[in-house]
Structure 1
Amino acid sequence: MKLSNKQITLLVLAVLIVVSPFFFPSSFYYRVGALIFINGLAVTGMVILTGYAGQVSLGHAGFAGIGAYGCALAPVYLGIHPALAAILGAVVSGCIAYLVGRPILRLKGYYLGVATLGFGILVAMVLANETGITGGPDGIQVDDLGLRGLLKDLGWKMKNSQFWYGFTGLALLLGAWIALNLHNSPTGRALRALHGSEIAAQTVGVDVARMKLQAFVISAIYASVAGSLLALQNRFITPDVAGYMHSIEMVTMAVLGGAGSVLGSIFGAAILTMLPQVLTVFAEYEHIMLGLVMILVMIFMRDGLLPSVLRVLRGRGE
């Protein structure tokens, strides 16, 4: 039986998640793995927006900030469980994305990028300046999710880093499964037609404005859930989660690995998450080396790192 591309992608992800811990020399690598999965989940949302629909957002970290601070503030002010707070943050992010997206998605090119950038900066400013509520630049504590304690009561003991590695890995698999199903659905085909040409897509009956907005809302929910997972894992959050650089990192991860590929974007998230750990040997040259790697990929592998490598391997095999 021949496996579909969706099945192959999910199988590769599942195998990597299960097998990788056998090569971890310390528990620190579980934390790095969890960060890769969280970034991968956020970037999967960028694939839907950028890779499928062809739209660019430079402010998606704002939605990650909403999700993260939702987990911190909702249990305090609403008295709900952190898991419900994460769901509430995703709902709020989706609603805000709908309201914000309706006007700004009428823009194109760098105008759209600047508009989304402004939204992200606005969210970061609110989180940093509302000290009485958010804790300001010093950040705020986040309640424990409580699932590890529940698993311990059921006789399944594991370290905190191991729990979050597995939990975020499952979240990434679920997010990838949803994105891959969307790719092959009528909505996904409409989004890809929109990416190719808005005029051509409109000619064949695609509601361009609605499809753009739908992709924007879905990607915002992905970013919000990723922000919530980051906050719950660290048990502490600062406004940096909604910062400009975080938005740029998300876009760079998607483009680096291949914005049109779910597996490629996750691969890009893995590289960009691990590179700062590897390049610490270069001390003050770390950012220069990181920038050089990204420039070389953008010049010689315009479709992204993973799709370009796979294309070369297929060419050698034929």
Structure 2
Amino acid sequence: MMKLSSKHSALLILALLIAITPFFFPSSYYFRVGSLIFVNGIAVTGIVILTGYAGQISLGHAGFAGIGAYACALAPVHLGLHPAFALVLGAGVSAVMAYLVGRPILRLKGYYLGVASLGFGILVSMVLANERQLTGGPDGIQVPDLGLRGLLKGWGLDLNNSEFWYMLSGLALLLGAWLALNLYNSPTGRALRALHGSEIAARTVGVDVARLKLQAFVISAVYASVSGSLLALQNKFITPDVAGFMHSIEMVTMAVLGGVGSVLGAIFGAAILTMLPQLLTVFAEYEMLLMGLVMMLVMIFMRDGLLPSILRLMRGKDT
């Protein structure tokens, strides 16, 4: 009997969870929450590549999410593109911006890199908020409908809006996770992990450190852009908050909470942090306090993240 590799096992687990979970949803509202988890999961998978694989820190990745979101809002109106092609355009623009911005700032290290990337995110957010005639300013802007539900209905698959976005964002997450897991054991992925361990040692054995850092930054920017585009298309409305500082912090927190060195762990963190506000609404004004307490406890007692720590405890009990 063929043994599944860890990559295939992770993808199988993720696919089963996406497929089986809807059978336990009591209402269509949970499809909405699920699709938000998948959209956030795409963004944090990019953070895993940048931080978990390459060991680089970015506090401004929401800027790329903003570029992707507003590409889907503006390109159909001003360029006549279908929203799906606008998503691709947004990813391309984000990749170019990440390349141009990454070349100078990736020469920095540690918190200097984090602050420089934060500056980029704030700059994008300010442009989106101030260019009222183009972006609608702080009030936001409408996003055209993707128009795929009608096509699926013609094929005999009649889904409501929440079910459609659950399915589409789930498939997008599976594709993103597959690409990230393939990268992990590729020559580039091994070089990125060597870079994470020690830049000096990686450079000594012939790794082009500057090029790899830039590659990881560009790839993670594309993930963030696709996440922003899917969020905009799903909500059919977008505001500059998608590129705001707090969204960048949410991305990093989700990845670190679940386990930034693991694709499944980061997606697990995205699920926890997306669902937690829904679960804590019964505590009203104490909601933010309890969220902060949960995150502090995880960081103190489960430093590798929730999922890796839980799996390690389970293996310990088995032995």
**When the two structures are superposed, what TM-score results if normalisation uses the length of structure 1?**
1.00
Residue aligning to 2:219? 218
Q: Distance in 1 between matches of 2:150 and 2:60?
A: 36
Q: Secondary structure at the match of 2:21?
A: helix
Deviations along 1:260-310, whole A, 9 cap, x unmatched? 000000000000000000000110110000000000000001100000010
Deviations along 1:188-211, whole A, 9 cap, x unmatched? 000000000000000000000000
Q: Distance in 2 between matches of 1:236 and 1:150?
A: 22
Q: Distance in 2 between matches of 1:8 and 1:279?
A: 32
Give 1:29's aligned amino acid. Y
1:91 aligned to 2:100? no
Q: Distance in 1 between matches of 2:77 and 2:49?
A: 33
Query: Which ranges in structure 2 are unaligned for 5 or more consecutive residues?
Result: none
Q: Distance in 2 between matches of 1:102 and 1:84?
A: 27
Q: Distance in 1 between matches of 2:6 and 2:244?
A: 35
Q: Distance in 2 between matches of 1:264 and 1:154?
A: 36
Give 1:252's aligned amino acid. T
Deviation at 1:58?
0.2
Give 2:61's aligned amino acid. H
Q: Secondary structure at the match of 1:274?
A: helix
Give 1:88's aligned amino acid. L
Residue aligning to 1:203? 204
Q: Distance in 1 between matches of 2:157 and 2:267?
A: 29
Deviations along 1:197-227, whole A, 9 cap, x unmatched? 0000000000000000000000000000000
Residue aligning to 1:164? 165
Q: Distance in 2 between matches of 1:158 and 1:253?
A: 30
Give 1:89's aligned amino acid. G
Give 1:53's aligned amino acid. A
Deviation at 1:153?
1.7
Q: Secondary structure at the match of 1:158?
A: coil
Deviation at 1:155?
1.9
Deviation at 1:156?
1.3
Q: Distance in 1 between matches of 2:224 and 2:48?
A: 12
Residue aligning to 2:51? 50
Q: Distance in 2 between matches of 1:300 and 1:61?
A: 28
1:120 aligned to 2:121? yes
> % of aligned pairs identical?
80
Residue aligning to 1:278? 279
Residue aligning to 1:6? 7
Structure 2 matches for 1:149-188, cutoff 5 A? 149-188=150-189
Structure 2 matches for 1:1-318, cutoff 5 A? 1-318=2-319
Q: Distance in 2 between matches of 1:146 and 1:35?
A: 19
Query: Which ranges in structure 1 are unaligned for 5 or more consecutive residues?
Result: none
Q: Secondary structure at the match of 1:94?
A: helix
Q: Secondary structure at the match of 2:124?
A: helix
Q: Distance in 2 between matches of 1:303 and 1:156?
A: 42
Deviations along 1:71-124, whole A, 9 cap, x unmatched? 000011100100000000000000000000000000011110100000000000
Q: Secondary structure at the match of 1:206?
A: coil
RMSD between aligned alpha carbons? 0.5
Q: Distance in 1 between matches of 2:81 and 2:183?
A: 31
Q: Distance in 1 between matches of 2:154 and 2:146?
A: 15
Q: Distance in 1 between matches of 2:171 and 2:11?
A: 11
Q: Distance in 2 between matches of 1:278 and 1:315?
A: 30
Give 2:18's aligned amino acid. I
Deviation at 1:154?
1.9
Name the count of aligned residue pairs.
318
Q: Distance in 1 between matches of 2:185 and 2:171?
A: 22
Q: Which runs of 4+ in 1 moved over 6 A?
A: none
Give 1:152's aligned amino acid. K
Q: Distance in 2 between matches of 1:286 and 1:56?
A: 28
Q: Distance in 2 between matches of 1:68 and 1:266?
A: 21
Deviation at 1:316?
1.1
Q: Secondary structure at the match of 2:32?
A: helix
Deviation at 1:152?
1.1
